[in-house]
Structure 1
Amino acid sequence: MTKRSYYAPEGGLPPQTQLLTDRAMFTEAYAVIPKGTMSDIVTSLLPFWDKARFWVLSRPLSGFAETFSQYIAEVQPGGGSDRPETEPGVEAVLFVVKGSMTLAIDGAAHEMEEGGYAFLPPHASWSLRNNGDAPVRFHWIRKAYQAVAGLDAPEAFVTNENHVDPTPMPETEGKWATTRFVDPNDLRHDMHVTIVTFEPGAVIPFAETHVMEHGLYVLEGKAVYRLNQDWVEVEAGDYMWLRAFCPQACYAGGPGKFRYLLYKDVNRHMPLAPLR
């Protein structure tokens, strides 16, 4: 089994002697939230969660990225929730970056550890508990499911990155690969959450410009990332948030792999009236 690396925030506060200069930025097309920003004082608490706090990385903003929210959750031993989601019609992906936890879906228990991935459809009844002796940290990506008449909602599933073979991108000699947890041809899914891996020196060789919104959390390594008109240095623990049509490209800096958790909305018509 390949040893993976997953960066997870620890919280705390920087010392009073630290310079204020930082890489954080928010523009009309993208945001960069560096790992150093994820301190104790920017965490949120949520209803019906015990011994838990959350770093909110993104949320729908009118005129920016509007389809999803993304949190990093930290749950202490004995903590969790029997009512984690309070909004109807919401699907989710959970991805564990530190520790382990027990996820119950419609009464069935699943043990998840680092690299663990769960898809939760909007109709799922689920709960979560940290039964271990150390904190667990995981990403929680939420989206209002966009139902289509004649298509059933997808079913829940739990897996681990180590059980899914990455798919090399065409004509890249395996230097750029994507770990896909759902079949891209399964139109029941209206979002994809994948892991993108670049070998040192690999590139996205053009400025991707497309309708999909993105959340990118760097799990491992470092790179120079093109965001709109800027080249930005990013490293493990940083988060990038892109609105639709924001040009993007990448050059992986090495010396190791550059890997990130990627959200995008897919497989639906562009709504011409407000969704109900």
Structure 2
Amino acid sequence: MTDEYTYFAPTGGLPDQNTRARERAVFTNSYAVIPQGVMSDIVVSYLPGWTGTRAWVLARPLTGFAETFAQLIVEVSPGGGATDPEPDPMAECVIFVLAGHVELSLGGRDHALEPGSYVFVAPGDAYSVKNSGDTPATFVWVRKRYEPAPGLDLPESFVTADREKAPVEMPDTQGSWSTSRFVDPEDLRYDFHVNIVTFLPGGTIPFAETHVMEHGLYVLQGRGVYLLNQDWVEVSEGDFLWLRAFCPQACYAAGRRPFRYLLYKDVNRHPKLDLA
């Protein structure tokens, strides 16, 4: 990782009373855009079992919206946290730290997390989190109920960081489009991936991807223009996008800094043949 990589963390507050009400927020039956400007104090939630903590819920399983995952931005005050964060025994999660310092206990080991730290917690593994610093700690928390498959063991928990994963360049892009993969795509134990996609200025997805995977996309840095279904939408750091399965999508980087986002997708399982 280079020093130019940064991670945007919302800080809440309320807009000035003279601010116009119109924002870039969009909600359709194929995609949604939740811009960072609407992540204010009045839309936070407080979570049972957590102290000194508030969260912006960006996605949750809901008819006509996200179907496979929940995604939150969690802000923990100094000394706050949770000794048993996960209420669902079949849930797995990824934690990606945006700001501050988090003390994580997982599998009998303690880990000091900082911005760019990445954690995968397998279903059933106990863990705890605590803000060990003197400023708020903020992280993305992506949760999914694990889908077992015959012949496959449970995935393994691990702790790593953005800087520890060399981005893999997409073919014939001269490095302008790359992906930092935290799980081997061929390891079928893992039924979802949360990767970091990076576009350097001028980088682009030059075709409309249309696929079964659902996406949750949080912009870590920079800005870009995204094709969502038939609409071109400007997005920038701190914005969240939800993309329904089969929503056509493409993008290009704008501005002078890398355009980077954290990307959820569901993978490696047979399509269900019922809607239950």
TM-score range, shorter chain: over 0.9
Match of 1:2 in 2: 2
Cα deviation for residue 135 of structure 1 reads 0.8
Cα deviation for residue 86 of structure 1 reads 0.6
| Aligned: 1:245 with 2:246 | yes
Q: Deviations over 1:61-96 (max 9, x none)?
A: 123320000000000010000110111200000000
State the percentage of identical aligned residues.
59
Amino acid at match of 1:62: T
Match of 1:141 in 2: 142
Match of 1:76 in 2: 77
Match of 2:178 in 1: 177
| Count of aligned residue pairs for this structure pair | 275
Judge conservation of contact 1:199–1:254 (CA < 8 Å) in 2. Answer: no
Q: Deviations over 1:235-254 (max 9, x none)?
A: 01111001100000001112
C-alpha distance in structure 1 between counterparts of 2:33 and 2:22, whole Å: 14
Question: Normalised by the size of structure 1, how large is the TM-score?
Answer: 0.98
Amino acid at match of 2:242: W
Judge conservation of contact 1:214–1:242 (CA < 8 Å) in 2. Answer: yes
Cα deviation for residue 149 of structure 1 reads 1.7
Question: Aligned runs of 1:97-136 on 2, under 5 Å?
Answer: 97-136=98-137
Cα deviation for residue 106 of structure 1 reads 2.5
C-alpha distance in structure 2 between counterparts of 1:69 and 1:274, whole Å: 19
C-alpha distance in structure 1 between counterparts of 2:125 and 2:203, whole Å: 39
Match of 1:217 in 2: 218
Identify which range, 60-69 or 28-37, moves more after superposition: 60-69
Match of 2:227 in 1: 226
In structure 1, the residue corresponding to 2:37 is in which secondary structure? Answer: helix
Q: Deviations over 1:119-160 (max 9, x none)?
A: 000021111111211110000000000011210011110011
C-alpha distance in structure 2 between counterparts of 1:73 and 1:100, whole Å: 13
Identify which range, 266-275 or 82-91, moves more after superposition: 266-275
Amino acid at match of 1:87: D
Judge conservation of contact 1:219–1:259 (CA < 8 Å) in 2. Answer: yes
In structure 1, the residue corresponding to 2:220 is in which secondary structure? Answer: strand
Amino acid at match of 1:15: D
Question: Aligned runs of 1:159-174 on 2, under 5 Å?
Answer: 159-174=160-175
Match of 2:58 in 1: 57
Cα deviation for residue 46 of structure 1 reads 0.6
Amino acid at match of 1:36: G
In structure 1, the residue corresponding to 2:163 is in which secondary structure? Answer: helix
Match of 1:93 in 2: 94
Amino acid at match of 2:72: Y
Judge conservation of contact 1:65–1:244 (CA < 8 Å) in 2. Answer: no
Judge conservation of contact 1:103–1:129 (CA < 8 Å) in 2. Answer: yes
Match of 1:268 in 2: 269
Give the alignment's Cα RMSD to 1 decimal: 0.9
In structure 2, the residue corresponding to 1:193 is in which secondary structure? Answer: strand
Amino acid at match of 1:226: L
Cα deviation for residue 58 of structure 1 reads 0.5
Match of 1:40 in 2: 41
Q: Deviations over 1:230-271 (max 9, x none)?
A: 000000111100110000000111211100000000000001
Amino acid at match of 2:9: A
Any stretches of 5+ residues in structure 2 without a counterpart? Answer: none
C-alpha distance in structure 2 between counterparts of 1:185 and 1:93, whole Å: 18
Amino acid at match of 2:11: E
In structure 1, the residue corresponding to 2:14 is in which secondary structure? Answer: coil
In structure 1, the residue corresponding to 2:42 is in which secondary structure? Answer: helix
C-alpha distance in structure 1 between counterparts of 2:56 and 2:64, whole Å: 22
C-alpha distance in structure 1 between counterparts of 2:274 and 2:29, whole Å: 24
